[in-house]
């Protein structure tokens, strides 16, 4: 895998960095990476992110749910790969040059999540997180926030993703 095809999740984070946040001066904020899937914006805590990869060969696995695309060998670590679009029950699409895999480590369990595109890193104040409306409850979403541009970011529940995939 070439260097241009692998990006660490935090490489661009310094552009959004707040000195108090980096030094641990505040405990009311958390950094999230936003990504797009099926015209929805999701956020995942950067505490879980190992790296973001593109153009990595995925080995298919037989007798797995359709959203499990297979496994990759990431420097000796076998990582199952799921397509979040399919996991959410959305239709499959052809992968593009913006499609990538976000590799997560959730309680020492590695999982790769295929997303349509990665957007940006945001510092989110816990007080700005709203609960998901009861009638729209999605098991993989732990909360949501509204951005100044009126877009909504759905916060991915990584523990549920790992435990139910």
Q: What are the sequence ranges of the domains in the chain?
A: 3-163
Q: Given pLDDT bands bounded at 50, 70 and 90, which one contains residue 48? A: very high
pLDDT in tens, 108-162: 999 999 999 999 999 999 999 999 887 665 789 999 999 999 999 999 999 988 9
Superfamily of domain 3-163: CheA-289, Domain 4 (2.40.50.180)
* Calpha distance 124→128 (Å, rounded): 7
Q: Which of the four pLDDT bands, split at 50, 70 and 90, describes residue 27? A: confident
pLDDT digits (tens, 9 = 90+) for 73-122: 999 999 999 999 999 999 999 999 999 999 999 999 999 999 999 999 99
CA distance 38 to 111: 20
If 0-12 CB within 10 Å is exposed, 13-18 middle and 19+ buried, where does residue 156 land?
buried
Taking CA atoms, 122 is separated from 6, 77, 99, 152, 154, in Å, by: 21, 29, 20, 13, 13
pLDDT-wise least confident of 8-12, 25-29, 73-77, 101-105: 8-12
Distance CA 47, CA 63 (A): 32
Are the CB atoms for 48 and 104 separated by under 8 Å? Answer: yes
Model pLDDT, residue 136: 62
Predicted pLDDT of residue 14? 39
């Amino acid at each position: 895998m070439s260097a241009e095809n692998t990006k660490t999740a935090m490489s661009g984070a310094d552009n959004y960095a707040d000195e108090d946040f980096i030094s641990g001066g505040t405990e009311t904020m958390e950094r999230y990476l936003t990504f797009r899937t099926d015209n929805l914006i999701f956020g995942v805590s950067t505490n879980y992110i190992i790296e973001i990869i593109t153009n990595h060969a995925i080995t298919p696995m037989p007798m797995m749910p359709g959203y499990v695309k297979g496994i990759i060998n990431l420097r000796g670590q076998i990582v199952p790969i799921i397509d979040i679009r399919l996991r959410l029950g959305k239709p499959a699409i052809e992968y593009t040059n913006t499609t990538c895999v976000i590799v997560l480590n959730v309680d020492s369990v590695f999982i790769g999540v295929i997303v349509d595109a990665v957007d940006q890193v945001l510092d989110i104040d816990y007080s700005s997180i709203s609960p998901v409306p009861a009638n729209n409850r999605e098991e993989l979403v732990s909360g949501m926030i509204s951005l100044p541009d009126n877009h909504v970011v759905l916060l991915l529940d990584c523990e549920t993703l790992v435990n139910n995939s």
